[in-house]
Amino acid sequence: MTILEVKNLKKIYTTRFGGNKVQALSNVSFSVEEGEYVAIMGESGSGKTTLLNILASLDRPTSGEILLRGRSILGIKEGELAAFRRDNLGFVFQDFNLLDTFSVQDNIFLPLVLAGRPHKEMQERLKPLAEKLDISDILKKFPYEISGGQKQRTAVARALITRPELVLADEPTGALDSKATDQLLKIFSEINREGQTVLMVTHSLKAASHAGRVLFIKDGEVYHQIYRGSVSNEALYQKISDTLTALATGGIKSE
């Protein structure tokens, strides 16, 4: 079943006085099936972040349509957007975006508190999640007391605790060392195996090689895509690498 459908997205940034126009997305269309793990790759300036921001409903496209489970998210009113994000989307950011004022546990609870859920339910949801993410021991600590990997796992827990339709990850491994990166990617694969749909934007080959499908964006368009099929991470890594090389040298035509 299709969970996310993106049709002909276009985004043009206009400077305040209408002088310069920059086209960030020219025409992006793709769809994500339920339970898929999709990585979007592209160089800096290719429009990845713009795309993610629009998917996250943090920004509005100039034209186009986004359907989440068949429902258009562009029609949602400004006042309801926050609640929509809270209930349907989970975010993992490059710089973690944890709040210093909250303990690890409270950071994870934040979206549930904002949704007005009872405390008992929060506890029940947290327990298995914390064990899976191996953060049970640090729940009482504060973000400045834990490592980068632990911070990102906390952020993952915060994204998952609302049981979102879709997890959006923006360069989740960007600020992590290689060990923490491996651990995080393993977690992503694991939650995906359990049925969580994940959409990740990255320019890390390694991160993308864990995905089930890789989309390549160039100059504001989906230029190419690779399905994993049944190959291993290593084989996918090689395929991605070849594609990127071809992309950079202009060898592949858009499909």
Partner 1 sequence: MNRNLYSHLARQNLKKNSRVYLPYILASIGTIMMFYILCTLAFDEDLRSDMYGGGQMAVILSLGIIVVGIFAVIFLLYTNSFLLKRRKKEIGLYNILGLGKRHIAKMMSFEALYVALLSLIAGLALGMLLSKLMFALLLRMLDFAVPFGFSVSLRGLFLTLALFGGIYLLALISSLVQIGRAKPVELMRGSQQGEREPKTKWLLALIGLLALGWGYYIAQTVESPLAVIGMFFVAVILVIIGTYCLFTAGSIVVLKALRRNKRFYYRTRNFTSVSGMLYRMKQNAVGLANICILSTMVLVMISTTVSLYIGIDDSLEITHPNEIVLKSYAEWQADVDRMNDIVTEAVSRSGASVVSRTSYRYFSVTLTGSELPVNQTKGKDLKYGLTFVSLADYNAIEGMELTLGEGEAIVCGKAYSGDSLYIEGTDFRARVIDVRRPLLLTVPNADIDVGYCVVVSDLDEVFEEVNQGAYADGRTTSAITSYAGIDIEQTGGMEQALYSELYNGVIEANLDTYISLRSEERAYIVSLYGGLLFLGIFLGTLFSMATAMIIYYKQISEGFEDKQRFEIMQKVGMGLSEVRKTIRRQILMVFFLPLVAAVIHIAFAFKMITKMLTLLLISNIQLFALCTLLTVLAFAAVYTVVFGLTARSYYKIVRA
Residues at the contact surface with partner 1, assessed by CB under 8 A: 56, 58, 78-79, 81-83, 85-87, 91, 93, 97-102, 106, 109-116, 119, 122, 142-144, 158, 162
Of the pair 126, 214, the CB lying nearest partner 1 is at 126
Token pair 């979102």 is found at 164
Residue 211 · residue 200 · CB < 8 Å: yes
What is the C-alpha separation between 123 and 169, in angstroms, rounded?
24
Residue 91 · residue 56 · CB < 8 Å: yes
C-alpha torsion sign, points 100, 106, 112, 118: negative
How near is the Cβ of 91 to partner 1 at its closest, in Å?
6
How near is the Cβ of 79 to partner 1 at its closest, in Å?
6
Of the pair 32, 126, the CB lying nearest partner 1 is at 126
Of the pair 80, 234, the CB lying nearest partner 1 is at 80
SS3 of residue 83 by DSSP: helix
How near is the Cβ of 170 to partner 1 at its closest, in Å?
10
How near is the Cβ of 115 to partner 1 at its closest, in Å?
7
Of the pair 108, 185, the CB lying nearest partner 1 is at 108
What is the C-alpha separation between 56 and 166, in angstroms, rounded?
10
What is the C-alpha separation between 156 and 164, in angstroms, rounded?
12
Q: Strand 21-33 and strand 2-14: pairing?
A: antiparallel
How near is the Cβ of 180 to partner 1 at its closest, in Å?
19
Of the pair 75, 116, the CB lying nearest partner 1 is at 116
